[in-house]
Structure 1
Amino acid sequence: MNMNGPVKISRNERLQTCQEIAARLHEVYKAKILAIGVYGSVSRGTDGPFSDIEMFCVLDESNEDVEFSYEWSAGPWKAEVNVCSADVLLNIAATVEGDWPLTHGPFFAPLSLYDPKGFFPKLKKAAESSTKEDFTHAINEVLVGEMYEFIGKLRNANLNGSHTYLPYLTMQLAQYGAMLIGLHNQKLYSTGAMVLPESLELPNRPAGYDHVARRVMSGDLAEPSKLVIACEDFWNGLEAWTAEHQYVIHSKRIPF
């Protein structure tokens, strides 16, 4: 059977492609290159036959910051190369945002292809430098920016009879609930495919979260009334969890 898009490629073939990309980066950026590394499933050794390639190309300091990506499909495989100046990447690694449990794994254990000056250990140190206050701030932002907004949308959808919107909102509440649990525990998830099951293994989960997460994992999203009840229970549990751990959903009427 002919197959369009990704095709089965062995890990050895994928690593060879990484080396070819690295060689081309050296041709393009020459002495500007400080380090080249691979991240994602390839760096962890968990890549599957259809996995893509994700790489860092770190440039030495210059007068202006550099941050952009090459992302392309060569037909049977796809690759992305993040080209960043060193100070930009170190700053990103040290910053905690709402999706930190999913996005920051690459900064802790990249597969080094070129690192003569020991940049990647510095990158890991930067990623480890975040404080409890940084995590608290990120949690508060997710509580208001995502969770509060999604529960409002869910109530509107239920009131207006827009029931086809409820499965999506339930999935979003589960996804960002997992981010909150990861942030609270300062725990990274191994991959996007494992966010929900791995979150269920972490302590200090809000009441009601498990039910919502398991519904999403099983695909049991067809009955609107059950989705609303599950999400509302989770929201109630989340408000109690927030108070218990001194996070903030509600502020003054106008806080500025």
Structure 2
Amino acid sequence: MDVYAGRDGSFSLYEDDGVTEDFRSGGASSTTSLVYTHAALRVTVGHPAGTYSGAPTARRYVVRIHGLAAPVGMRVNGGGGLPAYTGESAAVLNGSGQVWNATRKILTVVTPLITVGSGGGVAAIVEPSGATFPAPARQTVYEAEDALRSGVTIASQHAGYTGSGYVDYTNAAVDFVEWTVTVPTAGAYPLGIRYANGGTTDRPLRITVNDTVVAASLSFPPTGGWKTWRTVLLNATLPAGSAVRIRATSTGASGANLDSLSVG
């Protein structure tokens, strides 16, 4: 939900299954109310009125408020202040959070996963917590689809990824994804590679940092389905700099689908 600050606003979101014409005869559709109250800097997201085949049973709402002069601490449904992160993907992967983009003047709130009701009512209230905007967590998430790539393809047919998609390894060897990351201080960092492996065998990858091997054959075991995502963790010593290269290369088996790399 993109909100442009400055005045109150509202919108009704209509949905149906997007495939059949059941909405014509059986009313198989839903309408969700979205309301922004500028004076309170409050966004109210309603539960859908109505439902349809295949409608989600739970949702995580991403609310982006554009045009603020400075960030404020936010909360969801009267809870405590949300933790801050450097990007939306990090907030999603950590369950919820808030992000301030100082260049674009966008304050983003990622809600926890909320069970969907079908009879209307309020699903989420996003509003100031009364606290200042906290310092962002150290963790930064880099999307695989934004990285340097060779051999792999970008895909989006399997749900559950962050960002705009994920990468699918094509060949059993040589294919790679290479992220360029910023490391403020040299030292040991936890690295997390989020992946899905719907096959029945392990799909290991070689991990290098600036061409130095840090894991010759990092295991990416089956996750139980291509829509089931897990994170493989490893620790690596990283040099300081704004152009540290972390590469994941296939080594004898087509790699798993990779969603993102988290550093920190």
* TM-score in terms of structure 2 length: 0.28
Q: Which has the higher helix share?
A: 1
